[in-house]
Structure 1
Amino acid sequence: MARTRIPNTRLRALIEETEWTQGGLARAVNAVAAESGLVLRYDRTTVAHWLTGSHPMPRVQPLACEALSRRCGRVITTEEAGFAGQDPVVPAQLTPPDANALVSLLHELSGPVAYRPARIRPASRATGTGTGTGTRTSTGAVRAPGVRNSASLFFTRTLQAQGGGYARGTLRTYLAEAVAGQLRGVRGELRRERYAEASQLALVLGRMYADDLRNGEAQRCYLAARELAITAGNRELTVIALRTLSVQAYGLGHLNIADETARAAVRIAQATPHAVRAFAQAQLAVTAASRGERKDALRALSEAESGVGPEEVGRHPFESYARADFEFQRGEALMALRAPGEAVPAFEYALAARASDDRRGAALTRLRLADVLLPLGRVDETRALERELREDGDGLRSVAVTRRKQELRRSLLRFGGGRSAV
């Protein structure tokens, strides 16, 4: 006997509330999916099927609910949207971030997770009160006071050399089986060290997910890192986590949230070492520039530059704010200020300053420089960058790099030259 579909009156009511058309909802779901690294091509006919009683695939249901939540300004559950199945478990925060909570978080990362910009906004239960001396790296990790975390160093260098798709499963397993076990029952200074180490590793894991455009999973890791840092009383790591959340929000186009989070990072960074303050100010420069606040952006850049570390051969990546990372941020701020001609030398400096084993950083810098050069009509220089990407960037397990390389090749083809551009 054929199954009789029941019209989805709940979804219809939500569409009326949002004042979207069916096509509008479809486009919004496609956009949320893109933030999580999924390519959907839904249109009005897809939503029409939902309204007649069919249901989105299980992996799409949380994405559709996230799109509706953003439009309505409140959380929309799968039940409220009239979809079958259970809502995914989405903890508001790890409170308290104990070993069991960390393990649960890691298990939840096995499937697609919607990126939720609103989850950044509620202020954390604390801002971190530690007085540690850890400093920032280009990977967003910092060293806990008195602790040289060899695991986070290893996975950071793996990310830089091989991309986010390399060893991510190993890091997840290490966090779930080794690090989480070390959090159980610890007290005093050892507790602070263990939670700081877990925070560092959660940040690196988040960057690995982000490098494969799995932004929902990355966001979960960053939020966990923030809460672990707060529990550790580590102000520096709290700043790093907030700044990383701001960078992610900015990259996904959530400019107001990116700016709010960058300003929160700067406020908390006031009592931290110079390099940490510089790291926060460099992101504020970008978000302020995106809002047209030129004076504030340039002031933030100046303050950030004063905290850039010396360029030393063999420098430990957890000990200073690297020149290459700062120059990349300078370029981003100048682009946001609509000064591409001034941004070019900043990106060129960033590329020249990259460590030889930072293949991922070099590839992303070449791609960003190409983004700037091509609209300026500097086609030959852009082609040269594309050749360098083929020679030096192949083999990286990075969806972010792969997709942007494909986009660059398509752009170059429009300028002619046939196979020389591919």
Structure 2
Amino acid sequence: MARTRIPNTRLRALIEETDWTQGGLARAVNAVAAEAGMVLRYDRTTVAHWLTGSHPVPRVRPLVCEALGRRCGRVVTADEAGLAGQTPVVPAQLTPPDTGGLVGLLHRLSGPVPYRPARTRPANRAPGTGRAVGSARAPGARNSAALFFTRTLQAQGGGFARGTLRTYLAEAVAGQLRGTRGELRRERYAEASQLALVLGRMYADDLRNGEAQHCYLAARELAVTAENRELTVIALRTLSAQAYGLGHLRIADETARAAVRTAHGTPRAVRAFAQAQLAVTAASRGEREDALRALTEAEGGVVPEGAGRHPFESYARADFEFQRGEALLALREAGEAVPAFEYALAARASDDRRGTALTRLRLADVLLPLGRVDETRALERELREDGDGLRSAAVTRRKQELRRSLLRFGRGRG
């Protein structure tokens, strides 16, 4: 005998509360899914089926709850939405960053995790006195694992060696955190924070922003536990950059300002890293003077070109020029942004294939609307010659978008 479906009155009540149409909810779920690296093409008929009693597949249910929660301004549970059952549970907060907490975090990253903007808002908890970057006891000076995986990300993309890093964190690093005390404890937690940041960047490069956010939040908590102000700043700044890239501008700006506040008393490179992100978020809010002032302050902490420094100890010229270009774009000065992106491209290290590809793509994004089609085509050819083989979903998707954009101009059109 066929099962009789029960209409989902709870979901209908939430849709009425949000003042959305059925199509509006479908589009919001599609957008949340895109942040988690999923492609959904739901429409109003899909939501209509949910209202009559069918359920979205388990991996989509947290995304529906997240979309409704953003609109309502509060947490919406699967039970409240009438979707309770086999919904994967994504906790509102991370467990403490001890051995079990780190392993538990890694286990929770096995499936799609929704990106949650509200969780990026700066925490009230502040770190203690930080360790000086570059000192003999600083973890960055000897954390060869963080350097290795960072360079692997740059050369091969986020889809390469991510599983290896997860295993290393779960089986080696987490075990080292158990029972440590004093200075050794702080060093071990700082090392774990660095590796969690790198793992998050790998997930983000694969367009899995929910998982990346979990890693960044864990990195922040590990840094606070290590009483390492520098790594706390880096985690906050990274969370801000992620929020900005996903269009959550207010949260990105709040977090960038928290990073700048936390950076007082840290080395120049760390302060520069925070100020460069503030320049972008301030520019996006139309605060031109603040943005330009932040760029000036950030430039003072940039390392000379060609200086081989650990990525957690320095701020490279190529990365700064990329941020300068982003800030100028946000200020609607596309013509001025072009030289900044060109400088960033020229300053990229030869083994930073991922950074080079992303810089070419961003430069192409700016040149094409300016009518500089031939230059854009040249960049696209360089991407095909030098960028193929990268295991980077972010690069792959943006290359496809660039090719579609160029097709609109027609072959040979100048």
The two structures have a TM-score, normalised by structure 2, of 0.97
- SS of residue matched to 2:409: coil
Mapping 1:222-371, distance limit 5 Å: 222-312=216-306, 314-371=308-365
Partner of 1:8: 8
What is the number of equivalent residue pairs in this alignment?
412
Q: How far is 1:318 from its partner?
A: 3.5
Superposition RMSD on alpha carbons, in Å?
A: 1.5
The answer (yes or no) to whether the contact 2:122–2:255 under 8 Å persists in 1 is no
Partner of 1:111: 111
Q: How far is 1:127 from its partner?
A: 1.7
Partner of 1:412: 406
Q: How far is 1:96 from its partner?
A: 2.7
- CA distance in structure 2 between the aligned counterparts of 1:198 and 1:317, rounded to whole angstroms: 15
- CA distance in structure 2 between the aligned counterparts of 1:110 and 1:290, rounded to whole angstroms: 34
Distance 1:122 1:364, change over 3 A: closer
Mapping 1:12-23, distance limit 5 Å: 12-23=12-23
Q: How far is 1:92 from its partner?
A: 3.6
Instruction: Extract unaligned runs of 5+ from structure 2.
Output: none
Partner of 2:182: 188
- CA distance in structure 1 between the aligned counterparts of 2:330 and 2:42, rounded to whole angstroms: 31
- SS of residue matched to 1:271: coil
The answer (yes or no) to whether the contact 1:36–1:113 under 8 Å persists in 2 is yes
- CA distance in structure 2 between the aligned counterparts of 1:339 and 1:236, rounded to whole angstroms: 32
Q: 1:216 aligns with which of 198, 210, 228?
A: 210
Identity of aligned residues (%): 86
Partner of 1:401: 395
Q: How far is 1:31 from its partner?
A: 0.6
The answer (yes or no) to whether the contact 2:200–2:211 under 8 Å persists in 1 is yes
Q: How far is 1:20 from its partner?
A: 0.5
The answer (yes or no) to whether the contact 2:146–2:194 under 8 Å persists in 1 is yes
CA deviation digits over 1:285-331, x for unaligned, max 9? 00000000000000000000011011235444333100000000000
> Partner letter of residue 228 of structure 1?
L
- CA distance in structure 1 between the aligned counterparts of 2:312 and 2:55, rounded to whole angstroms: 48
The answer (yes or no) to whether the contact 1:278–1:321 under 8 Å persists in 2 is yes
- CA distance in structure 2 between the aligned counterparts of 1:180 and 1:392, rounded to whole angstroms: 37
CA deviation digits over 1:142-176, x for unaligned, max 9? x9457410101110000000000000000001000
Q: Higher mean Cα deviation, 304-313 or 359-368?
A: 304-313
> Partner letter of residue 213 of structure 1?
L
- SS of residue matched to 2:184: helix
- SS of residue matched to 1:414: helix
Q: How far is 1:122 from its partner?
A: 5.5
Residues 1:201 and 2:195 are matched in the alignment: yes
- CA distance in structure 1 between the aligned counterparts of 2:19 and 2:272, rounded to whole angstroms: 44
